[in-house]
Amino acid sequence: MSGLFLILIAAVGLWLNQEHTLGSARRMGPGYMPLMVFWLQIGLGAIVLLASIFSDGEKLTRWTSAEIASFVGGIAVGTAVWWVLKSTGGFFGQTYNAVGTGMLAGFLVLSIPQGWRILGVINAAMCLFGLLLEKMGFFAALVGIIVLSCLAEREHIKKPVGILGCTVFLLVMCWFVFIKQLDIRVNLWPQL
């Protein structure tokens, strides 16, 4: 299932990436790097799929009724939020923001039962990062993804000092790597 999921997500990404110009290896366009990453993800998905076929790994367990309901409910809520927000103006009316907010809502619904909690919260955290980055800046987006990701595991909630230490360390490290060394141009602070 994981291999098929990776391949499916990469295929959707390739389809969405068709609008961007590719350029060449020498003069990369905005669609060049995503194209490479999606093809790499398809390859990794194929490796995971083939490895699972030829191994005696854990058998899939039956989904509980709560897990099925949260899966279907997550899709329904995410689609409804996207449908409503895409017709509004401003920040949420923009295509990617409406989709991202719909995905955030859907993943939060998915995370309600314990079996889906980690998957739902981690994916919701990635959506939150994407939504916060443009308007709230790099540091707020990092704090959002780190804190929400820590909520995926109940043991982390009991250790707020550990979450604070992890957040400070990752803020400094990400600033050094992405801003200082790689010179990535993003807003560091809120742009209100």
53 vs 37: CA distance, rounded Å:
24
Domain boundaries, the chain: 2-53, 89-181
Provide the pLDDT confidence category of residue 191 given band limits of 50, 70 and 90.
Answer: confident
39 vs 161: CA distance, rounded Å:
40
pTM: 0.73
Backbone angles phi, psi at 59, to 5 degrees: -80, 150
Note the pLDDT of residue 110: 94
3-state helix, strand, coil split of the chain in percent (to 5) is 75, 0, 25
Note the pLDDT of residue 128: 95
